[in-house]
Chain A
Amino acid sequence: DVKVTQSSRYLVKRTGEKVFLECVQDMDHENMFWYRQDPGLGLRLIYFSYDVKMKEKGDIPEGYSVSREKKERFSLILESASTNQTSMYLCASSLGGQALNIQYFGAGTRLSVL
C-alpha cells in the first residue's frame, strides 16, 4: 500500500512564525503535491513537484514556498504565517510517467495560526 505520511496532525503557530510542514511518501512516486482545504472552497493546489528540486506553482502559491531535496520528501514552508493560512493542509503523491494519474493523500495537518 502507498503510504503518505505528514509529520504533524495538528499545529498551532503564532502570526509571523516560520512554519514547516513535512510530507514523506514511501512508494518512489515522481510527483508530490500540497493542497489546502477550506469549507466551501474545496481542495486548492498550492504547489507541486514532478522531480527532485523541481517545483511548479499551483493555483494559490502566494505566501508559501516548497522544497524537494529528496524524492520521497516534499516540504511546505510558510515564511511568515498569517491568520488567513489557518486551514487543513493535505499532501499527496502520484506515480507519474504513463501510469493512471491517481493521487494518494496523507492524513492532513490542521494548522491554526493565532
Chain B
Amino acid sequence: TQLLEQSPQFLSIQEGENLTVYCNSSSVFSSLQWYRQEPGEGPVLLVTVVTGGEVKKLKRLTFQFGDARKDSSLHITAAQPGDTGLYLCAGDKSGGSNYKLTFGKGTLLTVNP
C-alpha cells in the first residue's frame, strides 16, 4: 500500500508557466518534507512543514501542509529550466521516534526553455 500518493507522476511544461504538485495520504503525519532530486544526484531537502495549515515560501516555491496534516502541495510560480528534477514528498509518522520516513514515488518535472 502506497501511503503517500503524489500527482502528477510526470509534468512537462514551458518556462514561465505555473504548476502545482500534490502529495496525499489517508494517514496523519507529524511533519512532511519536500525534496528535489536532480539526475544522477541524491535528494536535497527543500522544506519541512510541521503545523497543519502551514504555508512556507522558498523564492518561487510555495509549500502548504493540509489542515489535517494528511496532505501537502508544492506550487511553483514562473517555472524555470533550473526547476527541472524529481520532487519527492516524505512524511514522518513517528512523532519523535525518528526512524523511518514514508516517501511518495515522486513527480518528475521538466521545464522546457
Which of A14-22, A72-80, A105-113 faces chain B?
A: A105-113
Query: Most A CB atoms within 10 A — which of B45, B98, B103, B106?
Result: B98
**Closest Cβ–Cβ distance, residue B75 to chain A (whole Å):** 22
Nearest residue (CB) in B for A105 is B42
B92 at the interface (CB under 8 A from A): yes
Q: How far is the CA of A45 from the CA of B103 in the complex (A)?
A: 10
With an 8 A cutoff between CB atoms, is A34 at the interface? Answer: no
Taking each of B35, B43, B45, B92, which has the highest tally of chain A beta carbons within 10 Å of its own beta carbon?
B43
User: Is B25 positioned at the interface, with any CB of A under 8 Å from its CB?
Assistant: no
Of A4, A90, A99, the residue contacting B98 (CB under 8 A) is A99
Q: Could you jot down 10 A-B contacts, CB within 8 Å?
A: A40-B105, A42-B104, A42-B106, A43-B88, A96-B98, A100-B50, A101-B94, A105-B35, A105-B42, A106-B42
B residues near A (Cβ < 8 Å) are 30-31, 33, 35, 40-45, 48, 50, 88, 90, 92, 94, 96, 98-101, 103-106
Q: A101-B92, A108-B42 are in contact. List 18 more A-B contacts (CB 8 A).
A: A4-B42, A31-B99, A42-B88, A42-B103, A42-B106, A50-B99, A58-B100, A92-B42, A94-B98, A95-B98, A97-B98, A98-B96, A101-B98, A102-B33, A104-B45, A105-B35, A106-B42, A107-B42
Q: Which residues of A contact B (CB under 8 A)?
A: 4, 9, 30-31, 33, 40-43, 45, 48, 50, 56, 58, 90, 92, 94-108, 110
